[in-house]
Each structure stands twice: as C-alpha cells, then as structure tokens.
Amino acid sequence: MTVWKPTVLTRVLLGLAIFVSAFPLYWMLVIASRTNADAVASPPKFLPGGNLGDNIVRVLTHPEAQFLLGLTNSFIVASIVTVSVILISTLAGFAFANLNFKGRNALLLLVLLTMAVPLQQMGVVPLYRLMVSLEWTNTLKAVILPYLLNGFGVFLMTQYTRQSVPMELVEAARVDGAATLRIWWNVVLPAVRPGMAVLGINTFMLMWNDYMWPLIVLNQENPTVQIAINGLNARFSTEYSLIFAGTALSIIPLVLVFVLFGRQIVGGLMEGAVKA
C-alpha cells in the first residue's frame, strides 16, 4: 500500500491557506482586546491587549445594544429552526428514498425547484405583509416561521438516506413487523446521524448569521445578535473595539455547536471509510 506524502509546495500552500483563514479571527481578538485608540493606530498593533474583559462588559451592559437579549433570541430562533429542519428533512428524506408512493418524483422535483428560487429576496414583500396581517412583527415567530423547512435539507437527507439505508434493510424491518415510523426511528435515524449533524451545523450557522429578515421584522428593542451588533455599529461608529468584542462573543455559540456536532461528522466519515 502506497502512502502519499505531501511535498514542500503542498505544505507551504496549506500553511498559507491556514494563515489566510485564521488571521481575521486573530485580528478580531486583537482589536477586541485593545482600546479604540489602539484599533485606529498607525502602524497597527498586532499583539492582544488587556482590555478584552472591559470591552465585553461594556457590550453586555450597554442599555441600547440589548446584546444579551440578542444572544438569547438568536439561540432560541436558531435552535427551533434547526430542530424543525432536521426533523422534517429526515422524515421527507426517508419517504423520498425508501417509500414508494404516487407522485414521489414530481414532489422531489418540486423541492429541487424551490432551491433554484431566492425565496428570501423575492418573497420578502409578501412575507412581511403576512407578518403584519398576523400581527407578528417584532416577535420571534416572524423570524422562525419562514425557515421551519427548506429544500436543501430535504434534498440532502434524501441523497444521504439513499446511500446509507438500503431498501433490503427497510424490507427486513417490515418483515419483522415494524411500522413506518418505527423503521424511521430505529433503522433510518441511526444510519443518517452524520448527515443530520452536517445539516444541523449548516442550519444553525445560517440562522445565527441571518441579518436581512430579522432586520425587517424586528427592531432594536427585540433584536437577534446580528441586529444587536448592527446597533453597536450604528451607536458607536468609531468604537471598533466594542464592535469586535461583540463579534467575538457572537461566534462562541457557533464554535460550541461545531464541537458538539463535529464528532458525529468525523464518526460518520470514519464509518464510511471502513465500509469502503
């Protein structure tokens, strides 16, 4: 068995890619830990300072930023939407991949067509009018409802279920007397867990970073975290240290989610490699 060894050029290119990817995060921490005077100093200071704690306290306690409320709202919205998307997508993926019913291919084609249409941009006006008619503006329901399911999640779980759950396994479960939901719970879910982790991370990140729709239906009194950061930027147009400190705080939940779900992804990749 031949073991591939990276060349010097490959190592250099990988090191350069890591540096380019990691430097913005490092620079964010540098500015977040310094005063605003240091942030705009020339030449710039490349080492972290000692003001990170003070800047974080100023961000969290500022009465107009509502940053803690923004973190809480974003966590609620992203969590509910992620659970909903995973649940609906795994059920739909199981149906499209392993169940035979009339119109299956037509429905799957319809799902694919929804992926080709930028619904948020094209549907923002009717969606907003709907939220106004429901009197849901400035509530989290208005942010959650449009994202409870998406075509990408259904398509991803359909393809993953087809590869991970053979029809023979489903038929064997039916012979043993298992109902459809029992098959989905005991047979399908354990097999597609890595795909669910990928979908969960992707959905949580998209909802956590969503800016356009919350900006339309919410205000600064009931913000998500991105709207709260925008409030810092509008209020403190020259306080770069506060803005970067708020940004640093906002990525902590994303890191935690990746750590929690990342083991599932690695486990799925290792399992696939063993099968191959």
Q: What is the pLDDT of residues 36-50, one digit of tens each?
A: 888 878 888 888 888
Residues 71/250, Cβ–Cβ less than 8 Å: yes
Q: For residue 148, is pLDDT > 80?
A: yes
In eight-state DSSP terms, residue 224 is -
pLDDT cut 70: percent of the chain above it: 91
For 258, counting Cβ atoms within 10 Å of its Cβ (0-12 exposed, 13-18 middle, 19+ buried), the class is middle
Token digits of residue 65: 């930023």
For 64-232, the fitting CATH number among 2.130.10.10, 2.60.120.1440, 1.10.3720.10, 1.20.1440.230 is 1.10.3720.10
Q: What is the pLDDT of residue 77?
A: 96
Mean pLDDT lowest among 27-31, 147-151, 268-272 = 268-272
Q: What is the pLDDT of residue 94?
A: 94
For 68, counting Cβ atoms within 10 Å of its Cβ (0-12 exposed, 13-18 middle, 19+ buried), the class is middle
**On the CB side of 106, how many CA atoms lie within 13 Å of its CA?**
3
- Mean per-residue pLDDT over the chain, rounded: 86
Q: What is the pLDDT of residues 57-70, one digit of tens each?
A: 988 887 777 899 99
Q: What is the pLDDT of residue 47?
A: 86
Residues 88/148, Cβ–Cβ less than 8 Å: yes
pTM tops 0.85, yes or no: yes
